Amino acid sequence: MLSSASAEDITVSEQTFGCILDWPKVRNTYFKHSDPAKLKEAMRIFRDSIPDRQYPVGTILQLIPFEAMVKHPREKFPNTNGWEFFDLDVSKEGTTIKERGSMSSIIRKGSPA
């Protein structure tokens, strides 16, 4: 479950992610947001390729089941414009988070030495 005490305080856990096939999609990208109006806005930004528009905080984008990105306030992940990236392990028992952080930290951890 994605929870937010305020727009600045988002908690992402393994329960945040479910089956992306249950989520709405635009082209090949699946979307999730706990607020239906913000979900609609995120999908519109993506669908219409709106330049220089920030996705609502709390938006989750997933192209494939094993990777996702969650929008936080820009200050939390300044190098990725507020996006936190997740490497997921998905099974019929549920989803677990293998790695999380900025894209560069996930690439470094997953890259051979």
Write down the domain spans for the chain: 3-110
* Nearest C-alpha neighbor of 71 from the set 7, 5, 6, 1: 7
Please give the pLDDT value at position 92: 86
pLDDT truncated to tens, each residue of the chain (113 aa)? Answer: 454 444 456 899 998 998 888 999 999 999 999 999 999 999 999 999 998 899 999 999 999 989 999 999 999 999 999 999 999 999 888 899 999 987 755 655 554 43
User: For the whole prediction, is pTM greater than 0.85?
Assistant: no
Q: Beta 3-6 vs 9-11: how paired, if at all? A: antiparallel
CA distance 51 to 13: 30
**Given this model, what pLDDT does residue 69 score?**
96
Q: Which helix (H) or strand (E) holds 67?
A: strand 67-71
Neighbouring CB atoms inside 10 A of 11's CB total 10
- At residue 2, the pLDDT reads 52
